[in-house]
């Protein structure tokens, strides 16, 4: 591939991800609203939100690390998006692969954690403690899923996984080949996205005890951007592993929106789990499904 | 005189010089220069690290028991020696400035410290140079006792921990001695080549015995389960830079010997043929599982520590598991990952210990509940620790990520999901634990009494910064280290990993860290741009905080530090049962009981009565 | 080489004449003992090279074997005769002790008594090492026992009397057993001359009677060699006797008893059961001694128990058939010969509970450093001599490839691990920070000098490993050469060996 082409891809991929992510945020809010019999926000509301946050006059910084933390949170996702192949663009998919991606995705969380830590607010630290515990809860079954997919396809290269599924048709899709793993991944998705019923670490309803406690203005804006990427990444990863990725955007986009929509619709129906219950649930069901699924894959 | 002779000679001279001038002003620097000289001589042999040179012999030989004892360096020794001398150099450097003065002024013998450090380096080089099983044992014992010396330097509590270490270590050494004498008894030689050729003659039962003896012997040094109890406390109590040195390389000697004997001489494939009765496992699986549990259990013990040095030392135990796991898996990815992890781990572990010692130097404590907010006071130490914890947690862009990734990938190729699961559980535990480490020291609320704390002196900061650069650069260009590990793989007869400067090539998905890291940096750049797009922010003073709507003054302590993960502990807290401590105590009290019984025998037994019994017994034997 | 007989005769004679000399000149009496020992040591040393080619036999009283008193000297015997002579000289009883409270009259009388005891010890010990027939061995052994009573009780404390009494009882039983064994041998073979027995043994003693005789003698002579079931005197005696006496008994005298058992094994008793008995008792000795030492609360007892363990290792070594066993036992014995006396000398000022020793290294840094060195060698850390000795024991044990020998090897290794634990507990206590109250006594210069001299011997051995190994190999080979023994003692008259 030509270098300049690659460069264009590297710029385009995060941009697209951001735009799609915004749309996903909108969709998420609309779903929530419909379930609660509200109208929901207008089309450009997420964008307005971001612009509003960045444009605020009162922007309190608690020190350099606070700022670097936000930069890491956004930057890490920007980088991660280039590792995720989408129709027509595979970016750096061949330089890293699924396991690398999983670890690059922890950089934003680490950045956020460091930034919040610098704020010297115990409530923020408590939020991080919960967030990291939740990460321990959902990432272990999730990484099992990645293991299963890598083993099944014989590669960790996401672009090749897509190619294999595309060539051999629907019967070769991950969801057909390893349904239990797909189910396990689906169960972990809300937690990965920080949504109900596993959103205690974000604690959106009680701002005083969560990572966001000292975040305002563009700091909050950074987290908003991060959330867009988060939703997009979750959708694309699942689609890549289980739904054959996409040759064309026209087939690809519905898949990723669907992937995000399903857990989102179910999520609003559940009450919230406590931190230790997140662990208990994640280590029980997705893990069990994942292990059985793996056993079936490796037969 | 060969280059190796020269190296060992300089190392020996370093030991002497350290003892003579260690207490003088500038003595530490002289010793540090000598380490640098050792490093230079080692670089003269760098052909070993790039497979252009197979072996460098020492001209010193020694005839005993119809055996000729020889010493030589090959790629494996060179690789380990590089880390050893590097760790020695940086630790000595770190100790040479203000830290050393403080140590001396507070009553410690700085000369003895430098002597112990140099002795450790020297004895490790002797061990690494061993050319047969007997010299291996001699080097092994030297290393054990040198570590004992440096561990015991601090006195007081450290004595108890050093004692525990040497009890384990010497018992392990005896297992090792038993093992290699058994080899001699069965095969008639101590020579590596001769042994390697005749190992196939060994019966399965003998081989099992050997595997158990050697695993126990080397395992004690590596602190793999169930011999892990001694290490963390002993390392933590070692004087500052000594802990950095021990943490970086000391217990790797166990791994070195493990590779020499169990991988090179006996061979992993032979281990895979040894079935554990009544199970589906073989000896290789057993080792792999030991490695995985060595990763998990100590890591989660580390999570509960509230002393920074203990926390790091426990992670040291845990990280051993990855190295062993990779090597036992023994495919090209695994062995490269395991070997590379030795180097990577040494770089960041030394740096992490140094950062903690720097904090101790300025604040006088390493208690994680008595620190906080030091980022603004000691930013360079913070950077060192940040780089270090990213490495330790195995996240990009640092070098620890590459080696761990290789190990994970080897497990995928090997098709071992459960081992993989265990390794991942260990990694996440590490992430949680190291965040707590950096949070409790550098983030959060600054204590009022630490408001005037300054950055550590240059003599301490500079080694940390160089190590941080090493961690970053070898993370960016892992090929630098993979060159050496490939030479080692070739030397020990493992499949060689196809690699390039940025990572590795593989049909199952390659890795190019140059791209990954560049894109990550570019991402941070974009993140910065996005950040700057926003409105101007106003920075508030570090002590100007509120919590939950309450304005609190700096005197109120609200740093969230103790029991950092209550949710997790709520669930897994009950699983901390100290079973191994219990096991150890059980063993000790068994010995104690036996000992009491024997003393009773000697004190009370009616001599004449026993004598009579002996006679009757003897006579009855004759008559019957 | 008749001069060799002087090694036995001269010290004995001087010992008996000492009080006469004292009445003439106190100065002469004071120096007579050391000078005589020096002379005898010189005699022994000058004979050493000659014995390399051909062992020597001396007939006392002008009769040929088997009637006369036969002395047989090969390098093995001479080595131990020299050891007891030089040992008695170096560890001259009563030196380095604090005698300020002693009455001046008692002082000179005690000195005289100790001097004659030391001379007697050297004389009888040499006699024991050089004797060539069982009867003489028995006589010298008994003499030696009596001398040791005197030495142990010499301190005059109630504890030492109690210990002596215990020792007396066990020794008495031992002597009776040994005598019974000798009687059995005589009954079967009709002679007590070892050379003759060596000839007759295959037909007359290779049966259960011979075996019974061996067991009886083993237990009898084993009393001094700290053999397992008859070593209950050891801890009390070493704990209460003066360090120099303990050093002599543990370091040197026990080796003499070992030498006798070694001779009997080589020349007379070839039953495989004999080896098994040795092995089992050795293993029990190692296990019981080291385990008991683990809980010892004072240094002297600790050393006493550890010496039981070490002697156990020697018995295990002896149980290895052939040359290798003798070589291994010899190596361990010589190592122990240097090491244990040195340790006991250091323990002289380290009495009382081990806990009370905290900070003793500050007072006597050299002594503490030496103790570390000795401890390292004792547990067998390369490249110190103890390691090579251990290697010589374990290699043949494993080479035999039998379960019982494997087990013995395991016990030896496990015991070393235990030893490392308790010895280094002491070491760390020595280097611990001292509680301010208790000042420690520094070592007497003469004690320390002697200990350092012995320790230096160990270090020197590291640099002469190869020649030493060769020499030991040679000594072992010479000692196991039965036909040379027979030829040397009685070149002519052996076929007429039917005396009864």
Q: What is the mean pLDDT of residues A245-259?
A: 90
Residue C210: alpha-carbon gap to chain centroid: 26
Would you place residue A113 in the very low, low, confident or very high pLDDT band (cuts 50, 70, 90)? very high
Q: Is A253 on the interface with B (CB under 8 A)?
A: no
Residue C97 pLDDT: 66
Q: List pLDDT tens digits, range B347-367.
A: 999 999 999 999 999 999 999
Q: What is the mean pLDDT of residues C197-212?
A: 84
pLDDT-wise least confident of B370-379, C63-72, C366-375: C63-72
Cβ–Cβ of B386/A59 closer than 8 Å?
Answer: no
Question: CB pairs below 8 Å between A and B: how many?
Answer: 262
Distance CA C314, CA C299 (A): 22
Q: Is A121 on the interface with B (CB under 8 A)?
A: yes
Whether the predicted pLDDT of A195 surpasses 60: yes
Counting residues of chain C whose pLDDT is more than 90, the rounded percentage is: 31
Are B467 and B384 a contacting pair, CB within 8 Å? yes
Whether the predicted pLDDT of C111 surpasses 90: no
Residue B391's nearest CA partner among B329, B317, B459, B469 is B469
Tokens at C145, concatenated: 């026992």
Please list every residue in chain C whose beta carbon sits closer than 8 Å to the beta carbon of residue B594.
Answer: 291
Whether the predicted pLDDT of B610 surpasses 70: no
Residue C157 pLDDT: 79
Residue C500 pLDDT: 35
Q: What is the mean pLDDT of residues C194-207?
A: 83
Which of B 536-575 lie inside 8 A of C, CB atoms?
Answer: none
Would you place residue C7 in the very low, low, confident or very high pLDDT band (cuts 50, 70, 90)? confident
Distance CA A262, CA A188 (A): 12
Whether the predicted pLDDT of A89 surpasses 90: no
Distance from CA of C393 to the nearest CA of B (A): 11
Whether the predicted pLDDT of C68 surpasses 80: no
Q: List pLDDT tens digits, range B560-590.
A: 888 899 889 988 888 888 889 999 999 999 9
Task: Kindly tell me the burial class for residue C224, based on how many C-beta atoms sit within 10 Å of its own C-beta (0-12, 13-18, 19 or more).
Answer: buried
Integer angstrom CA distances of residue A175 from A141, A171, B533: 16, 9, 42
Residue B571 pLDDT: 87
Q: Is B594 on the interface with C (CB under 8 A)?
A: yes
Please list every residue in chain B whose beta carbon sits closer than 8 Å to the beta carbon of residue A156.
Answer: 409, 412, 508-509
Distance from CA of B604 to the nearest CA of A (A): 59
Q: List pLDDT tens digits, range C293-336.
A: 999 888 889 999 999 999 999 999 999 988 899 999 999 999 99
Residue C204 pLDDT: 81
Tokens at C464, concatenated: 């002469």
User: Nearest chain C Cα to B162, which residue?
Assistant: C428
Look-up of token digits 């990460």: A135
Distance from CA of C381 to the nearest CA of B (A): 7
Which of B 205-264 lie inside 8 A of C, CB atoms?
Answer: none
Please list every residue in chain A whose beta carbon sits closer than 8 Å to the beta carbon of residue B373.
Answer: 120
**Residue B108: phi, psi to the nearest 5?**
-80, 155
Cβ–Cβ of A155/B531 closer than 8 Å?
Answer: no
The dihedral of CA B256, B259, B264, B266: what is its sign?
A: positive
Cβ–Cβ of B611/C174 closer than 8 Å?
Answer: yes
Residue A51 pLDDT: 92
User: Nearest chain B Cα to A98, which residue?
Assistant: B509
Q: Is A126 on the interface with B (CB under 8 A)?
A: yes
Distance CA C27, CA C29 (A): 5
Q: List pLDDT tens digits, range C158-191.
A: 888 888 888 888 888 888 889 989 988 888 888 8
Cα of first residue to Cα of last residue in chain B, in angstroms, is: 69
Determine the residue among A15, A53, A120 to mutate to test chain B binding: the one whose Cβ has the most chain B Cβ atoms within 10 Å: A120
**CB atoms < 10 A from the CB of C414, how many?**
18
Cβ–Cβ of B511/A154 closer than 8 Å?
Answer: no
* Mean of per-residue pLDDT scores for chain A: 89
SS3 letters across C188-207: HHCCCEHHHHHHHHHHHCCC
Tell me which DSSP letter residue B443 carries. S
Pairing of strands B56-64, B67-73: antiparallel
Would you place residue B497 in the very low, low, confident or very high pLDDT band (cuts 50, 70, 90)? very high
Q: What is the mean pLDDT of residues C189-212?
A: 84
Picking from B373, B526, B558, the nearest residue to A75 by CB comes out as B526
Residue A193 pLDDT: 83
Cβ–Cβ of A217/B431 closer than 8 Å?
Answer: no
Pairing of strands A60-61, B511-512: unpaired
What residues contact residue C228 under an 8 Å CB cut-off, 6+ apart?
C222, C281, C282, C284, C285, C288, C308, C312
Cβ–Cβ of A79/B522 closer than 8 Å?
Answer: yes
Whether the predicted pLDDT of B515 surpasses 70: yes
A and C touching (3 or more beta-carbon pairs closer than 8 Å): no
Cβ–Cβ of B182/C413 closer than 8 Å?
Answer: no
Whether the predicted pLDDT of C495 surpasses 50: no
DSSP C223-236: TTTT-GGG-TTHHH
Counting residues of chain B whose pLDDT is more than 70, the rounded percentage is: 96
What residues contact residue C260 under an 8 Å CB cut-off, 6+ apart?
C128, C137, C141, C221
Q: What is the mean pLDDT of residues B378-386?
A: 95
What are the residues facing B275 on neighbouring strands?
B282
Whether the predicted pLDDT of B604 surpasses 80: no
Q: List pLDDT tens digits, range B110-158.
A: 999 999 999 999 999 999 999 999 999 999 999 999 999 999 998 888 9
Tokens at C216, concatenated: 């009886």
Distance CA A117, CA A112 (A): 8
Cβ–Cβ of C296/B141 closer than 8 Å?
Answer: no
Please list every residue in chain B whose beta carbon sits closer than 8 Å to the beta carbon of residue A274.
Answer: 567
Are A215 and A112 a contacting pair, CB within 8 Å? no
Cα of first residue to Cα of last residue in chain A, in angstroms, is: 38
ipTM given for this complex: 0.95
DSSP B222-253: HT-TTS-TTHHHHHHHS-HHHHHHIIIIITHH
User: How big is chain A by its Cα radius of gyration, in Å?
Assistant: 19
Would you place residue C60 in the very low, low, confident or very high pLDDT band (cuts 50, 70, 90)? low
Which of A 138-167 lie inside 8 A of B, CB atoms?
Answer: 139-140, 143-144, 147-148, 150-151, 154-157, 160
**Buried residues in B75-93 as b, exposed as e (16+ CB within 10 A):** bbbbbbbbbbbbbbbbbbb
Alpha helix locations (H) across B223-331? 231-237, 240-245, 252-258, 268-272, 283-303, 308-329
**Buried residues in B340-371 as b, exposed as e (16+ CB within 10 A):** bbbbbbbbbbbbbbbbbbbbbbbbeebbbebb
Cβ–Cβ of B177/C413 closer than 8 Å?
Answer: yes
Picking from A95, A129, A132, the nearest residue to B511 by CB comes out as A95
**CB atoms < 10 A from the CB of C175, how many?**
17
Q: Is B156 on the interface with C (CB under 8 A)?
A: yes
Tokens at B506, concatenated: 């593989």
The neighbours of chain C, by the rule of 3 or more Cβ pairs under 8 Å, are B
Which has more pLDDT, C316 or B279? Answer: C316
Picking from B375, B528, B545, the nearest residue to A121 by CB comes out as B545
Distance from CA of A261 to the nearest CA of B (A): 28
Q: List pLDDT tens digits, range A118-137.
A: 988 888 898 899 889 988 89
Which of A 259-298 lie inside 8 A of B, CB atoms?
Answer: 274-276, 278-280, 291, 294, 298
Distance CA C398, CA B209 (A): 13
Q: What is the mean pLDDT of residues A275-284?
A: 88
Q: Is A101 on the interface with B (CB under 8 A)?
A: no
Distance from CA of B101 to the nearest CA of A (A): 33
Cβ–Cβ of B390/A92 closer than 8 Å?
Answer: no
Picking from C292, C390, C410, the nearest residue to B602 by CB comes out as C292
The neighbours of chain B, by the rule of 3 or more Cβ pairs under 8 Å, are A, C
**CB atoms < 10 A from the CB of B581, how many?**
10
For B56: left if phi > 0, alpha if psi spans -120 to 50, otherwise beta; the answer is beta
Picking from B376, B508, B533, the nearest residue to A156 by CB comes out as B508
Q: What is the mean pLDDT of residues C461-487?
A: 88
Distance from CA of A4 to the nearest CA of B (A): 15
Distance from CA of B146 to the nearest CA of C (A): 12
Cβ–Cβ of B396/A103 closer than 8 Å?
Answer: yes
The dihedral of CA B360, B362, B368, B370: what is its sign?
A: positive
Residue C107 pLDDT: 73
Distance CA A75, CA A91 (A): 16
User: Nearest chain B Cα to A139, which residue?
Assistant: B428
Whether the predicted pLDDT of C496 surpasses 60: no
DSSP A41-76: --TTHHHHHHHHHHH-S--EE--HHHHHHHHHHHHH
Whether the predicted pLDDT of C240 surpasses 90: no
Distance CA A212, CA A228 (A): 16
Q: Is B25 on the interface with C (CB under 8 A)?
A: no
Whether the predicted pLDDT of A221 surpasses 80: yes
User: Nearest chain B Cα to C463, which residue?
Assistant: B62
Would you place residue C436 in the very low, low, confident or very high pLDDT band (cuts 50, 70, 90)? low
Whether the predicted pLDDT of C497 surpasses 60: no
Whether the predicted pLDDT of B605 surpasses 70: no
* Mean of per-residue pLDDT scores for chain C: 85
Cβ–Cβ of B622/C230 closer than 8 Å?
Answer: no
Are C128 and C260 a contacting pair, CB within 8 Å? yes
User: Nearest chain C Cα to B63, which residue?
Assistant: C466
Would you place residue C231 in the very low, low, confident or very high pLDDT band (cuts 50, 70, 90)? confident
Picking from A10, A58, A136, the nearest residue to B519 by CB comes out as A10
């Amino acid at each position: 591939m030509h270098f300049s082409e690659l460069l264009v891809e590297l710029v385009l991929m995060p941009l697209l991800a951001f735009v799609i992510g915004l749309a996903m945020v909108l969709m998420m809010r609309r779903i929530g609203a419909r379930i609660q019999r509200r109208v929901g926000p207008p089309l450009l509301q997420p964008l307005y939100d971001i612009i509003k946050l960045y444009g605020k006059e009162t922007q309190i910084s608690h020190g350099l690390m606070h700022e670097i933390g936000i930069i890491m949170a956004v930057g890490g996702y920007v980088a991660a998006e280039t590792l995720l192949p989408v129709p027509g663009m595979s970016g750096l998919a061949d330089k890293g692969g699924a396991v690398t991606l999983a670890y690059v995705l922890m950089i934003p969380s680490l950045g956020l954690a460091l930034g919040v830590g610098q704020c010297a607010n115990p409530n923020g630290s408590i939020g991080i403690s919960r967030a990291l515990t939740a990460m321990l809860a959902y990432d272990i079954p999730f990484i099992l899923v990645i293991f299963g997919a890598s083993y099944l396809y014989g590669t960790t290269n996401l672009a090749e996984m897509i190619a294999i599924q595309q060539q051999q048709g629907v019967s070769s899709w991950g969801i057909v080949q390893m349904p239990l793993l797909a189910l396990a991944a689906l169960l972990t998705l809300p937690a990965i996205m920080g949504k109900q019923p596993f959103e205690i670490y974000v604690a959106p309803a009680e701002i005083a005890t969560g990572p966001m406690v000292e975040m305002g203005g563009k700091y909050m804006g950074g987290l908003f951007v991060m959330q867009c990427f988060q939703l997009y990444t979750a959708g694309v990863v699942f689609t890549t592993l289980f739904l054959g990725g996409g040759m064309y955007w026209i087939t690809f986009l519905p898949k990723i929106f669907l992937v995000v929509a399903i857990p989102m619709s179910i999520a609003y129906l559940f009450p919230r789990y406590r931190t230790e219950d997140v662990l208990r649930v994640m280590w029980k069901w997705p893990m069990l499904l994942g292990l059985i699924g793996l056993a079936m894959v490796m037969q | 005189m060969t280059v190796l002779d020269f190296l060992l000679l300089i190392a020996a001279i370093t030991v002497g010089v350290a003892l003579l001038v260690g207490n003088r002003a500038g003595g530490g620097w002289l010793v540090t220069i000598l380490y640098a000289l050792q490093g230079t001589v080692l670089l003269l042999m760098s052909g070993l690290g790039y497979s252009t040179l197979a072996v460098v012999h020492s001209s010193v030989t020694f005839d005993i028991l119809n055996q000729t004892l020889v010493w030589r360096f090959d790629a494996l020794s060179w690789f380990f020696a590089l880390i050893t001398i590097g760790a020695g150099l940086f630790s000595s450097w770190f100790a040479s400035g203000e830290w050393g003065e403080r140590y001396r002024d507070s009553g410690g013998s700085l000369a003895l410290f430098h002597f112990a450090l140099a002795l450790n380096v020297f004895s490790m080089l002797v061990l690494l140079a061993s050319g047969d099983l007997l010299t291996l044992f001699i080097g092994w014992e030297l290393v054990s006792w040198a570590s004992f010396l440096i561990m015991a330097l601090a006195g007081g509590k450290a004595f108890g921990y050093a004692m525990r270490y040497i009890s384990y270590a010497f018992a392990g050494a005896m297992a090792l001695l038993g093992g290699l004498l058994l080899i001699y008894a069965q095969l008639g030689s101590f020579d590596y080549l001769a042994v390697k050729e005749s190992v196939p003659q060994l019966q399965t039962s003998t081989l099992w015995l050997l595997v158990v003896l050697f695993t126990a012997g080397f395992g004690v040094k590596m602190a793999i389960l169930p011999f892990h109890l001694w290490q963390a406390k002993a390392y933590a109590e070692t004087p500052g830079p000594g802990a950095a040195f021990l943490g970086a390389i000391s217990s790797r000697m166990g791994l070195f010997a493990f590779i020499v004997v169990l991988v090179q001489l006996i061979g992993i494939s032979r281990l895979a043929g040894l079935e554990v009765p009544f199970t589906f496992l073989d000896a290789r699986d057993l080792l792999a599982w030991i490695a995985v549990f060595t990763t998990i259990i100590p890591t989660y013990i580390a999570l509960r520590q509230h002393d920074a040095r203990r926390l790091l030392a426990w992670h040291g135990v845990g990280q051993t598991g990855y190295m062993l796991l990779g090597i036992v898996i023994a495919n090209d990815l695994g062995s490269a990952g395991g070997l590379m992890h030795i180097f990577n781990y040494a770089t960041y572990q030394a740096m992490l210990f140094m950062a903690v010692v720097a904090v101790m130097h300025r604040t006088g404590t390493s208690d994680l509940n008595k620190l906080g907010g030091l980022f603004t006071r000691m930013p360079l130490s913070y950077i060192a620790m940040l780089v270090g914890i990213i490495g330790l947690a195995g996240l990009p862009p640092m070098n620890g990520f590459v080696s761990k990734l290789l190990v994970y990938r080897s497990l995928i190729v090997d098709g071992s999901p459960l081992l993989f699961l265990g390794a991942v559980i260990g990694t996440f535990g590490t992430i949680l634990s190291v965040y707590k480490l950096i949070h409790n020291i550098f983030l959060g609320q600054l204590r009022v009494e630490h408001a005037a704390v300054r950055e550590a002196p240059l003599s301490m900061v500079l080694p940390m910064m160089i190590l941080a650069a090493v961690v970053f650069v070898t993370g960016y260009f892992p090929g630098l280290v993979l060159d050496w590990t490939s030479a080692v793989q070739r030397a020990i007869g493992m499949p060689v990993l196809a690699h390039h400067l940025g990572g590795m090539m593989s049909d199952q998905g390659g890795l190019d860290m140059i791209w990954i890291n560049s894109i990550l940096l570019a991402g941070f750049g974009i993140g910065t741009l996005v950040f700057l797009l926003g409105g101007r922010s106003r920075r508030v003073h570090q002590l100007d905080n509120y919590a939950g709507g309450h304005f609190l003054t700096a005197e109120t302590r609200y740093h969230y530090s103790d029991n950092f993960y209550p949710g997790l502990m709520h669930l897994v807290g009950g699983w901390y049962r100290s079973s191994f401590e219990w096991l150890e105590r059980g063993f000790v009290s068994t010995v104690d009981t036996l000992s009491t019984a024997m003393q009773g025998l000697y004190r009370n037994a009616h001599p004449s009565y026993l004598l009579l019994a002996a006679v009757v017994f003897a006579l009855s034997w004759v008559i019957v | 080489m008749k001069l060799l007989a002087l090694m036995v005769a001269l010290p004995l004679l001087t010992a008996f004449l000492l009080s006469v000399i004292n009445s003439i000149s106190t100065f002469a009496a004071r120096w007579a003992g050391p000078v005589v020992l020096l002379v005898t040591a010189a005699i022994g040393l000058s004979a050493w090279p000659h014995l390399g080619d051909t062992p020597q036999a001396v007939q006392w009283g002008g009769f040929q074997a088997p009637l006369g008193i036969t002395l047989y000297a090969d390098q093995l015997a001479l080595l131990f005769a020299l050891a007891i002579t030089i040992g008695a000289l170096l560890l001259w009883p009563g030196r380095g002790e604090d005698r300020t409270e002693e009455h001046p009259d008692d002082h000179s009388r005690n000195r005289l008594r100790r001097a004659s005891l030391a001379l007697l010890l050297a004389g009888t010990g040499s006699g024991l090492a050089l004797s060539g027939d069982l009867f003489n061995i028995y006589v010298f052994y008994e003499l030696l026992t009596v001398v040791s009573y005197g030495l142990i009780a010499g301190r005059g404390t109630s504890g030492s009397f109690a210990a002596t009494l215990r020792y007396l009882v066990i020794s008495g039983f031992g002597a009776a057993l040994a005598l019974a064994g000798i009687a059995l041998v005589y009954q079967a073979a009709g002679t007590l001359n070892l050379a003759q027995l060596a000839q007759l043994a295959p037909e007359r003693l290779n049966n259960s009677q011979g075996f019974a005789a061996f067991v009886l003698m083993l237990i009898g002579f084993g009393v001094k060699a700290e053999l397992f079931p008859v070593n209950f005197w050891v801890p009390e005696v070493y704990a209460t006797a003066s360090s120099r006496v303990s050093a002599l008994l543990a370091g040197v005298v026990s080796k003499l008893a070992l030498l006798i058992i070694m001779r009997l094994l080589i020349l007379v008793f070839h039953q495989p059961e004999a080896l098994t008995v040795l092995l089992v008792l050795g293993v029990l000795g190692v296990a019981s001694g080291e385990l008991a030492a683990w809980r010892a609360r004072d240094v002297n007892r600790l050393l006493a128990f550890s010496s039981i363990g070490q002697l156990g290792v020697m018995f295990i070594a002896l149980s290895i058939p052939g040359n290798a066993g003798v070589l291994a036992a010899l190596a361990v014995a010589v190592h122990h010969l240097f090491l244990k006396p040195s340790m006991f000398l250091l323990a002289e000022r380290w009495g009382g509970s081990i806990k009370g020793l905290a900070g003793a290294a500050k007072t006597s840094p050299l002594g503490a450093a030496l103790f570390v060195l000795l401890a390292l060698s004792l547990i067998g850390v390369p490249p110190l001599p103890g390691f090579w000795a251990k290697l010589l024991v374990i290699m043949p044990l494993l080479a035999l490839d039998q379960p019982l020998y494997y087990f013995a090897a395991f016990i030896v290794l496990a015991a070393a691990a235990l030893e490392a634990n308790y010895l280094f507990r002491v070491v760390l206590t020595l280097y611990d920070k001292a509680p301010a109250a208790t000042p420690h006594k520094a070592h007497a210069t003469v004690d320390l000098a002697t200990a350092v001299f012995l320790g230096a011997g160990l270090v020197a051995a590291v640099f002469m490993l190869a020649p030493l190994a060769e020499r030991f190999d040679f000594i072992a080979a010479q000692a196991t050469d039965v036909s040379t023994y027979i030829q040397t003692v009685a070149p002519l008259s052996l076929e007429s060996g039917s005396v009864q």
